[in-house]
Chain A
């Protein structure tokens, strides 16, 4: 297994700042917007974005966590079941502008499931997608991000791993390649 650093702590911080600014550009004071972190890996990204937005003076940002386990399209097709996480959406999304936040966009299947799941909480006005890493050329569904941290060219057997300060001691993004394919 070969582990290569894709993004350093400093690069991640620059990217997150840019993404926060792009959100402000499109959503203004966020009065009609709800940020939804996709469980589990989108949650740390969401938390950091909200911190940055609050630093820019935007208060009362509405946010929620969405778990998509029960909406996946690979139920009864995988060897071991996935463990569901907590969904926490305390606001009705009817006519709100929703932004999904996740760390890595790969096949697009989780986002498809999230699109399905979100309608249990009302019919949003529109839904956008923000990802830290976009693994382009690996999509299996017609889904593209509206806000992209960094585009990465990778093959299917590789993995992109985002590690945060609370897990690894510092923020870092790795590209992991299995040993026999170097």
Chain B
């Protein structure tokens, strides 16, 4: 196995191969140890500056990236679209090039438009890390989800994972599908017909509209939030009806023939996709996911910065 990533940017899980995924996980193992030390910091990226460009709101992803960058001793600058010159009509490439001319080495970007990260990687001279682009991909979330499964079950190969909820608007779902399929897991998506894209089975996954059947089939259930802010239409009659059909409760879990693991990328809408009881139960690994997020992002940034193209003499 190579100890170098095959890509120069992290744009999506689609562009990674299985060796890349394993390398990121192995490196994250070591960073997980680092962030549990009395002093949780290593000097690896001390000569690197990273810009976090968030053109769309985010709390945990932004915090997690910023923490990962600081734990690696990188210099960090933050940018959020509110109150910036984006509102004055500047283009994305111009904004980023302006920031890069202040000698920034890497860009972590979240953007509402699918493909924004790929577009940027083709038009500016910097390492790009996609922190979510519209309903396209959210690669670090998928990596930390898979890493959390690997941590609990040692191996992902052959595990059955169901992703429940709003698949149509979810970049987490798409990245998770790519990631889990590459690692040899079986994947099912479950949700109301209106929130499941047509032809999604062409990605080699199962589709179900019956929550009980999906939960009975799986080892792990990844519960997605209903993204009201992305829904321009009414996709289901009422939240109450959605909860009755697709909300996971303890009563439901107790009816299953075996215990399953519950995951959630956050933020949770307690009482909608999962009940409070489930979120706080032993079966939930939601907070482990958050902890692992920092280790995974450290691994990604470290591995991208260690590419030959980033060598000291060339920058």
Contacts and interface: CB of A to CB of B under 8 A. Distances in A.
B303 to A, nearest CB: 7
B282 interface: no
Interface of A: 67, 69-71, 75-88, 92, 116-117, 119-122
Contact of A67 (B30, B40, B47): B30
A71 B307 CA distance: 17
B299 to A, nearest CB: 10
User: What 3 A-B pairs are tightest by C-beta distance, nearest first?
Assistant: A70-B42, A81-B306, A120-B39
Given A69-B30, A71-B42, A120-B37, A80 B3 contact: yes
A111 B34 CA distance: 19
Interface in B184-240: none
A70 to B, nearest CB: 4
B306 A75 contact: yes
Interface of B: 3-4, 26-27, 29-30, 33-34, 37-44, 47, 72, 302-303, 305-308, 310-313
Contacts of B34: 70, 87, 120
B312 A77 contact: yes
B30 A80 contact: no
A119 B47 contact: no
Contact of A119 (B33, B39, B40, B303): B39
Contacts of B303: 81
A64 B44 CA distance: 22
9 contacts: A70-B30, A70-B44, A76-B47, A76-B306, A80-B308, A82-B3, A83-B26, A84-B30, A120-B37
Contacts of B72: 70
Nearest to A82: B3
Contacts of A92: 38
A86 B307 CA distance: 22
Nearest to B27: A84
Contacts of A88: 33
A92 B39 CA distance: 11
Given A70-B43, A121-B39, A81 B3 contact: yes
Nearest to A67: B30
B176 to A, nearest CB: 26
Contact of A85 (B30, B40, B308, B312): B30
Contacts of A76: 47, 305-306, 310-312
Given A80-B308, A81-B303, A119-B39, 7 more contacts: A71-B42, A75-B44, A75-B305, A76-B310, A81-B306, A117-B42, A121-B38
Contact of A81 (B4, B37, B38, B42): B4
A95 to B, nearest CB: 14
Nearest to B37: A120
A85 B3 CA distance: 12
A76 to B, nearest CB: 5
A86 B308 contact: no
A144 B186 CA distance: 55
A69 B313 CA distance: 20
A80 B37 contact: no
Contacts of A85: 30
Contact of A86 (B33, B39, B312, B313): B33
A86 B4 CA distance: 18
Contact of B308 (A75, A79, A87): A79
